[in-house]
Amino acid sequence: MIPARANNVLMQRRLWAERQWSRFISGRRLNLNSDLLNHDIAESWQRSATRLDPKDEQLTIPCADEYVAGQRWQDSILRLVAGQELDQLKQLAREGSLVAAVSDPQGCLLWTFASQHMRRRAESVNFIPGGHWDEHSAGTNAVGLSATLRCPATVFSSEHFLPLVHDWVCYAAPIMHPQSGEMLGVLDISTTWNYHTPLGQAAVKELARSIAGRLPEVLPRAELELHGLGAPRVVFRGRELHLSHRQLEILCLLALNPQGLTLDAFHAALYGDQPVSASTLKAELSHIRRMLDGQVGSRPYRLMVPVWADFIDIWQSLRQHRTQDAIGIYRGSFLPFSTSPELEEWRNCIDAVMGRALHDCDDFAILTGKMCNGAPGSELVRERLENLTLQR
C-alpha cells in the first residue's frame, strides 16, 4: 500500500468529519446529505453515545491481560491458517507506516504488528493484544463497526467516536467462514489520517478473504477433539490420530480432569485394582505427549492444549436441561468397553441422565429429527418414540 500525502481533499474531509462530530456531541442535528458522512457512522455514534462520553478526558480503551490474549492467539484457528497473510501484513506495515491487527469476533485484539511510525501511537491507546475495540468499549472504530455490521468498514479521522483516535484512519474487514458464514474475527490495518488511501479498504478486504479461503470446510471445535460417544475418534489440529483403546482412555481422563492428576491418582482412575505398574502408565503418557507435540504437562499430568469432548458437551447440555442439544450430540454410550473406574462412573451417569431426559421428552419433532438423520446411537430415541406411540 502506498500512503497518500495529506492534500486539500483529505483536509476537507477531516474538517467536515470534525464539524459533524462536534455537532453530534453538542446535541445538534447531523448533516447527512453528503457522501462524506454515511449512515453507518452516524448510527454507530448513536450506539456509542449510550455507553461512552467522548468529553471524558480520563477515558481509556480497556485492555485485558496481554499474556491471556497471546495465549488465545496461539490457540486460534486463524493463526494456524494465516501465516502467509500475516507475513504480507508485516511487510505492508513496515512499508506503509501502518499497524495491523487481528481481533476475535467480539473486537478484542489478539495479534498486532506496528511500524515505527505507529508503534507508540498504538501502545498509547491500547491498540495492542488484549485491547477491547468493540463499539461498547471504544466507540465508533473500524474493528468494532466491522464486527457489528459483519462487513468491511473504513473509519476516517473524526469519524471515530473518541478523540483519542481522531488522528487515525482505519480499514477493517470481517473474516467469514466460507461454508458456515460464521465470523471468526476481524482484520484491521490503520495509520494516521494523512496517509489515507482508497487502496486501504481494498487491501484489507482481499487479505481477509484470502485468510477465510484457507480455513478448513469444517471448523475444529478445539485444537484437540475427543469423540467418545459411540465410535471413538480423536482429531488433533485437524488430523485424525490413530490411538489404542488405552491411549483413548488416558486422553478422556485428562479431559475430564483439567486441573491435572498426580501419577497415583491417574493410576487409580485408569486401572483401579489391576496389577499394572506405574512405569507402564508413564510410558503411555510419554507416547501420547509425543503424539500431541509435547502438549501434555506433568506434575500434575494435564492437557496443555484447548480440548473439546462430546462426552463433556453432552453432560453440560443434560445438566442445563438442553434436551434437544443432548439428543443431537448423542451417538451411543460413552466408551462402552472401558473398565476404568472413573470412566465407568461417567458412562453410568451419562446413560442415566440421558435416559431420564428422553423419558421426559414428549417432543415428536426432536425425536423423529434424530431418527431421520440416521445417526448412530438412536436406540434410546427409538425406544422413546415407540413408548410415546403406544401411549397414544
Higher pLDDT, 158 or 381: 158
Strand, coil or helix: 101: strand
135 C-beta neighbours (distance < 10 Å), count: 22
pLDDT of residue 321: 82
* % the chain with pLDDT above 90: 68
Residue 1 confidence class, pLDDT cut points 50, 70, 90? very low
pLDDT at residue 33 is higher than 80: no
Q: Which domains does the chain have, with CATH numbers?
A: 8-213 (3.30.450.40), 224-391 (1.10.10.10)
Backbone angles phi, psi at 232, to 5 degrees: -70, 150
Contact, 296 vs 193, CB < 8 A? no
pLDDT over 50 at 122, yes or no: yes
Instruction: Please indicate whether residue 194 or residue 370 has the higher confidence score (pLDDT).
Output: 194
Can you name the residues that pair with 188 across neighbouring β-strands? 101, 172
For residue 275, report the phi and psi dihedrals to the nearest 5 degrees.
Answer: -80, 75
Question: What's the Cα-to-Cα distance from 358 to each of 61, 355, 363, rounded to whole Å?
Answer: 48, 5, 10
**Quick check: 354 pLDDT over 80?**
yes
So what's the pLDDT on residue 2?
Answer: 40
DSSP lists the bridge partners of residue 225 as 235, 308
Chain position carrying cell 491458517: 81
Grid cell in block for residue 302: 494435564
- Scanning 244-302, the segments in alpha helix (DSSP H) are 245-256, 263-271, 278-291
Q: Are strands 307-309 and 224-227 parallel, antiparallel or unpaired?
A: parallel
Question: What's the whole-number average pLDDT of the chain?
Answer: 88
206: cell is 482481499
**Amino acid at site 321:** H
Q: How confident is the model at residue 371 (pLDDT cuts 50, 70, 90)?
A: very low
Residue range 248-283, pLDDT digits in tens: 999 999 999 999 999 999 999 999 999 999 999 999
pLDDT surpasses 60 at 374: no
pLDDT digits (tens, 9 = 90+) for 7-23: 788 999 999 899 999 99
Segment 44-52 shows an average pLDDT of: 94
User: What distances in angstroms separate CA 107 from CA 59, 160, 190, one per listed residue?
Assistant: 18, 15, 15
**Stated length of the chain:** 392
Would you say residue 106 has pLDDT above 60? yes
